[in-house]
Amino acid sequence: MLRAGLTGGLATGKSFVGKCLADLGCRLLKADEIGHDLLQPGGAAYPAVVGAFGQQILDPEGCIDRRVLGGIVFQDPTKLGLLNSLVHPAVVAREEQWIDETRRADPHAIAVVEAAILIETGSYKRFDTIILTVCSREQQIERAMKRDGLSRDEVLDRLDRQMSLDEKRKFAQYVIDTSGDKEMTVRQVRDLYGALRMRKP
């Protein structure tokens, strides 16, 4: 089985590329969705995160308000590191469980884990290959503002605190440029899928 990590910067089209790969036949796991589940009331990371960041991050129903939490951690690298340390180990454990289950179900599968901070956390080392999505910085800003309802300054602040796409390229074996139209991206993903099938054990 081939283990592939799919990553990229903010709003570079990871989810679209992941969906395309799944449509072509890859098994896909979205690590960010695992993170969301872990932060729900009753989730494994919920008590520690609320304990670390306080009641201010909770909405009236007692759920963690991700925008409030993001506003706190993206202003302070130390707090972002703390949040990652509380959530990331449980995410990795879930990923490894899914990878093992996928291997048992289909030893010839291409298992793709889509994760935002795959490189920054060192998790890229757990994969056979890394796929990186990229686009222009201005496209990242426009997409993130539209998708997440953030101001331009909020997006710029997050981008400034992320590893640059140029730096991430050093860790990637495959790069998908999503700066064109969707059909252009789909063509690249089809070519990528063919390359992954050639590599597959």
Of all residues in the chain, what percent carry a pLDDT higher than 70?
Answer: 99
Q: Is the dihedral of CA 162, 40, 93, 13 positive or negative?
A: negative
Q: Which candidate, 91, 114, 90, places its Cα nearest to that of 8?
A: 114
Residues in CB range of 1: below 8 A, 6 or more apart: 99, 102, 103, 106, 107, 108, 109, 110, 111, 200, 201
Q: Does the pTM exceed 0.85?
A: yes
Q: How confident is the model at residue 198 (pLDDT cuts 50, 70, 90)?
A: very high
What is the per-residue pLDDT across 134-154, written as a single tens digit (0 to 9) for each?
Answer: 999 999 999 999 999 989 998
Residue 103 belongs to what H/E stretch?
Answer: helix 77-105
CATH of the domain at 73: 3.40.50.300
Contact by Cβ (8 Å): 37, 162: no
> Which residue is listed with tokens 């951690």?
73
Beta pairing class for 2-8 and 174-177: unpaired
Name the nearest CA neighbour of 9 among 147, 152, 168. Answer: 168
pLDDT at 161: 85
The sheet with strand 110-114 has its strands ordered as: 27-30, 110-114, 2-8, 129-134, 174-177
Q: For residue range 41-56, what is the model confidence (pLDDT) as tens digits?
A: 999 999 999 999 999 9
Domain count, the chain: 1
Name the band, by pLDDT with cuts 50, 70 and 90, for residue 176.
very high
pLDDT digits (tens, 9 = 90+) for 58-106: 999 999 999 899 889 988 889 999 999 999 999 999 999 999 999 999 9
Distance of CA 62 to the CA centre of its chain: 25
Task: Write out the two tokens for 57.
Answer: 């991050």
* Structure confidence at residue 200 (pLDDT): 60
Pairing of strands 2-8, 129-134: parallel
pLDDT of residue 17: 98
Domain containing residue 182: 2-199
CA-CA-CA-CA dihedral for 80, 140, 18, 123, to nearest 10? -30
Q: How far are the Cα atoms of 41, 136, 167, 199 from residue 191, in angstroms, in the given order?
A: 41, 22, 24, 13
Average model confidence (pLDDT) across the chain: 95
